[in-house]
Amino acid sequence: MEDESFDPLDDPEERRVLYAALDSFRQYRKAAHFNITHLRRQSFYSLPAPQIDLLSSPPFDLIKTFQAVDEAIDSNANIAEGILELGPVAFGIDSTDDSWHGTAKPNDLDKARSTIRQLYRDWSFEGSPERHAAFSPLLDALSRCLPATPAERHRHRILVPGAGLGRLVFDLCAAGYTVEGNEISYHQLLASNYILNCVQHAGKHRLYPWALGFSNHLTRSAQLQSVAVPDISPAATLQQAQAETESAVHYSERMSMSSGDFCVLYKKPEYRGVFDAVTTCFFIDTAPNVISYIETIRNCLRSGGHWINLGPLLWHFESAPTPAERDKQRGRTVSGGGNGDDGIGEPGSFELSNDEVVALVKHYGFEMVEQKAASPTGYIQDPASMLQNIYRPVFWVARKI
Amino acid sequence: MEDESFDPLDDPEERRVLYAALDSFRQYRKAAHFNITHLRRQSFYSLPAPQIDLLSSPPFDLIKTFQAVDEAIDSNANIAEGILELGPVAFGIDSTDDSWHGTAKPNDLDKARSTIRQLYRDWSFEGSPERHAAFSPLLDALSRCLPATPAERHRHRILVPGAGLGRLVFDLCAAGYTVEGNEISYHQLLASNYILNCVQHAGKHRLYPWALGFSNHLTRSAQLQSVAVPDISPAATLQQAQAETESAVHYSERMSMSSGDFCVLYKKPEYRGVFDAVTTCFFIDTAPNVISYIETIRNCLRSGGHWINLGPLLWHFESAPTPAERDKQRGRTVSGGGNGDDGIGEPGSFELSNDEVVALVKHYGFEMVEQKAASPTGYIQDPASMLQNIYRPVFWVARKI
């Protein structure tokens, strides 16, 4: 992980957010056992005795179900603790310092749970249909916009804002590009760092993505479905890709990750015109002010460079209309590493429809090269569930004039 | 509305819940203007001046959008106030008594908003695909299980638990059956009473089901789509159906609605064996304890009677594992009209998978006559949205042995 020059430990608010993220992985096991199975056992044993007897016996076996869910929680918690083991080291926290223990709030624990679950999408074989629907239009567009042999793709520098658990960054690097991911969430940064840099072999962990939810299952085995994480060995795959693409530059020099607020960082003069393409995947609707995203992308793209976008418009701050509520939702109370004039601390927000976003992108000096409906796809969606949350994302390619 | 013998005004807790429901319709207009447009205008005017200028001009026109959303809120609020006008009268509240003003909590206001929006599903032409997917398997099964000419269908008495806004009850009555709906929510009872008994003509109201949400719209006009409510004149449709079915009993004697907790009411001895069929549509997962539902249905069905079910298993109390939290979510703190030993006040809960529900239904003395996957369908889903929440419900018919 490239940490840039910014050290979160120097900023009291950033330190607090990092500590809470670390602590939430530390508490994953205990919190999940309490919230998911302990409370359910309590509720179960409040039933009339004949019902307890009935539901404890085949074919119901609810007590066995609680045990199986506890085992699933333990398996997921092993991942959380793998992430945690690496975290303090990566951020230069002394191993004897436990002042961050107990700092996670319920919101942080939710984020730890969703980050672990997100490994399904980014780093399991079963998540590949979701990745294919989201990533392949981006990869195809890149090869059209930036024609080059795989060996020469390293000349093209790509930025991936909202890099999340790092799979798109990884796939672009494997394809030969020089890629920089950016991510603001410490939960995601810690998890992607663990998978990309520390997990040496495919299938190291078993993840139970659906075990913590008890609704909409046709069978109990659907709830207890597990997937291997990661689906591939990141290091071995990059080595193999290096050989196949015959890239002139080693993959370790073509992949990096920056942490911090996208707008604060990439509006800086040193980033002016440095990228040949920016790919935004399920990202632009994380903006309270999408103009700020557009200006940032315009700043860091070279003239003639391409912005390739795929996603819906589930505006993340729709339910948090005031800056104070937005900061609370983000887990920050002041701008992260910024001066408070930009990025997180920025006041004002609005939500656009898709045609308005497209008009705004054009207004800020882009021409639309391509626009289409992308394939419908779930986002961390159990394909067996009785409830399918399916996105119908739009896809477009804009060129900086 | 058949009020049974129970008067909610006699019970302090029931009175509180009824008052809060009434007040939430009273506050719909003001609360929606505040939460939806006022806070957004505030956020909008916090933007830098050049951005305000840009976004106030074509093709964005965000100020015009806020005005249009305000008009949509006003149109929806006319429905809320129609419901409200009838409410105190229906429950015998003195028109000079305003002690219930200001009693609604945020949770009650949410319920008023979702009840108004639910009119899309039950009482608009555009909602007919959702109704068709959910209701037609139930109607088809009834005609198979209870063969009779339309004129003689009145001999068959059907119970619809969780009757909501009354459309299934209405459709069954129009088909010639004798139908009783049951509903616990005062929000839903007030709204169904208004539509069924007071709205004289089709298209009296314009409902803007999607106007209050700003996410996942391809165009602004999608957000501002309106539908006519109701799609038909309930009275004229029942008169016409009366003539067409040549039913031997007038529709006004074949349709009724009971209020209160399903289990408390229909476990009573006077309901033993009185129904020929029970239809549960998106209902059984509202149970903290589905055994209680099964026992209740068994009690009120005659021997050989049919239980026809369609729905997913989105267990409503999954996130509220303790009885206190469940009561809070229901809006009740003690059992409504019961003695505290049953229904709402009942401790204990659990969530089953579909195969376990089926096994449990068999265990309690039913045989499964038919089981299949039902058609996928949204539930109050904008068909134009970039996010589709699609259920894949199961359908089954069980016969009381």
DSSP conformation letters of B263-312: HHHHTSGGGTT-EEEEEEES-GGG-S-HHHHHHHHHHHEEEEEEEEEEE-
The number of beta carbons lying within 10 Å of the beta carbon of residue B120 is: 22
Q: Is the Cβ–Cβ distance between B393 and A391 less than 8 Å? A: no
Do the Cβ atoms of A169 and A181 come closer than 8 Å?
yes
N-to-C CA span, chain A: 33
Rounded CA separation B300/B273 (Å) = 5
Mean pLDDT of B191-214: 96
| CB-based contact A141:A397 (threshold 8 Å) | yes
Distance CA(A117)–CA(A121), nearest Å, equals: 8
Cα A170 from Cα A186, distance rounded (Å) = 18
| ipTM of the prediction | 0.93
Chain B hits for A225, Cβ within 8 Å: none
Cβ contact A218–B394 (<8 Å): yes
| Mean pLDDT computed over A288-317 | 97
Asked if B268 is an interface residue toward chain A (Cβ–Cβ < 8 A), one would say no
Mean pLDDT of B151-162: 98
Q: pLDDT tier at B285 (50, 70, 90 boundaries)?
A: very high
Average pLDDT over residues B132-147: 98
Strands lying side by side in the sheet with A275-281: A255-259, A178-183, A157-161, A275-281, A301-311, A394-400, A366-373
Instruction: Give A-chain residues touching B345 at CB under 8 angstroms.
Output: none
What residues contact residue B191 under an 8 Å CB cut-off, 6+ apart?
B83, B115, B116, B118, B119, B165
Binary contact (B386, A313; C-beta < 8 A) = yes
Structure-token pair, residue A54: 């009935």
B350/chain A closest Cα distance in angstroms: 6
Task: Spell out which residues of chain B touch residue A289, defining contact as CB-CB under 8 Å.
Answer: 47, 51
With tokens 């996130």, the residue in question is: B319
pLDDT at B322: 63
What pLDDT does A5 receive? 56
Residue A41 has pLDDT above 70, yes or no: yes
Start-to-end Cα distance in chain B: 32
Q: Which residue type does A318 have?
A: E
pLDDT of residue B272: 98
CA distance A144 to chain B (A): 26
Q: What percent of chain B has pLDDT over 90?
A: 86
Contact list, B49 vs chain A (CB under 8 Å): none
Residue recorded with tokens 């310092």: A97
> A117-121, A266-270, B333-337: which has the minimum mean pLDDT?
B333-337
Question: The domain B127-400 is classified under which CATH number: 3.90.1150.10, 3.40.50.150, 3.90.180.10, 3.30.460.80?
Answer: 3.40.50.150
Q: What is the pLDDT of residues A245-287, one digit of tens each?
A: 999 999 999 999 999 999 999 999 999 999 999 999 999 999 9
Please tell me the pTM assigned to this model: 0.93
**What token pair was written down for B108?**
């009650």
What contacts B135, CB < 8 A, 6 or more positions away? Answer: B167, B168, B171, B281
Q: Which pLDDT band, with edges at 50, 70 and 90, does B368 fall under?
A: very high
Name the percent of chain A in helix, strand, coil, to the closest 5: 50, 15, 35
Q: Does B269 touch chain A (CB under 8 A)?
A: no
Rounded to 10°, the helix B186-198/B106-123 angle is 40
Q: % helix / strand / coil in chain B, to the nearest 5? A: 50, 15, 35
Asked if residue A328 has pLDDT above 80, the reply is no
pLDDT band at B101 (very low <50, low <70, confident <90, very high): very high
How far apart are alpha carbons B307 and A383 in whole angstroms?
Answer: 29
Q: Which of residues 37-76 of A touch B (CB under 8 A)?
A: 39-40, 42-48, 51, 54-55, 59-60, 62
Helix H or strand E encompassing B137: helix B128-145
> Mean pLDDT in chain B?
93
Give residue limits of the domains in chain A. 127-400
Report long-range pairs for A52-61 (Cβ below 8 Å, ≥24 apart).
Answer: A54/B363, A55/B350, A59/B355, A59/B356, A59/B359, A60/B352, A60/B356, A60/B359, A60/B360
Q: Give the 3-state secondary structure of residue A146.
A: coil
Please state, in angstroms and rounded to a whole number, the distance separating the CA atoms of residues B202 and B236: 9
Q: Chain B window 298-327: which residues touch A at a Cβ cutoff of 8 Å?
A: 312-315, 318, 321-323
Q: Per-residue confidence at B336, pLDDT binned at 50, 70, 90?
A: very low
Are residues B318 and A214, on separate chains, in Cβ contact within 8 Å?
A: yes
Residue A348 has its nearest CB partner, among B44, B323, B360, at: B44
H or E, element range at B399: strand B394-400
Rounded distance between C-alpha atoms, residue B19 and residue B40, angstroms: 30
- E strand segments, A233-300: 255-259, 275-281
**Environment class of B303 (CB within 10 Å of its CB; exposed 0-12, middle 13-18, buried 19+):** exposed
Comparing CA positions, the residue from B163, B192, B144, B146 lying closest to residue B281 is B163
Q: Is the dihedral of CA A187, A190, A196, A199 positive or negative?
A: negative
Q: State residue B7's pLDDT score.
A: 81
Q: Give the model's pLDDT for residue B342.
A: 41
CA–CA dist B112, B101 (Å, integer): 15
Mean pLDDT across B389-395: 98
- Following DSSP, what letter does each residue of A196-219 receive, concatenated? HHH--STT-EEE-TTTT--SS-SS
More confident residue, B257 or A10: B257
DSSP character at residue B374: P
Of A43, A318, A351, the CB nearest to B349: A43
| Banded pLDDT at A337 (limits 50, 70, 90) | very low
Reported as a single tens digit per residue, the pLDDT across B23-59 is 999 999 999 999 999 999 999 999 999 999 999 999 9
From the list B219, B323, B356, the residue facing A220 with the nearest CB is B356
Q: Please report, for residues A47, A160, A221, A227, B302, the alpha-carbon distance to residue A188 in angstroms, rounded to integers and kept in the order given.
A: 40, 14, 29, 19, 57
**Residue written as tokens 């083991």?**
A85
What CA–CA distance (Å, rounded) separates B339 from B341? 6
More confident residue, A287 or B323: A287
